[in-house]
Structure 1
Amino acid sequence: MDRRGSRSSELHAGGVVFVEVRLQGGAPWGFTLQGGHEHGEPLIISKVEEGGKASSLQHPLLAGDQLLLINQVH
């Protein structure tokens, strides 16, 4: 995850903050994605639902955040 979230680890590199986010339980997680490898684009959070799991984290996810890995898969 690039930028914010419930942080179990954090690394700053070149002005970018890399964080690990763990959302507990099953879907829905409260965010919408756009892009992705199959489209030749980065995977970006396009919308975060107020009151959802993603917005209820200590450091909520935000529209515009980029996902780099999901379950250790690029």
Structure 2
Amino acid sequence: MSFLLNEIAPDDPMWNKRGALYAPSGEGPTVWAADDIYTVKAASAQTKGNIGFIEATVPAGGGPVPHAHTDEYETFYVL
């Protein structure tokens, strides 16, 4: 799934502190898509293309339609 978001500067002190990526709780570019809420915690541009991290709030029975990624990996951590 791709989102059209404003560009986040990789060296923005709001998101990068002392060489670490800082993703404050409750903050980050947020979009609503298909009844789910997605908040970007780490964009690819911030990690030199190594990882993108998205927090998703998904109601029971929700989520994206079944799909496959052929050029990237995807994993989930469920709370």
Fold shared by both chains (TM-score > 0.5): no
Please identify which structure carries the higher strand content: 1
Larger of the two Rg values belongs to structure:
2
Structure with larger RCO (C-alpha < 8 A, sep 6+): 1
Per the shorter chain, which TM-score range?
0.3 to 0.5
Give TM-score scaled by structure 1 length: 0.33
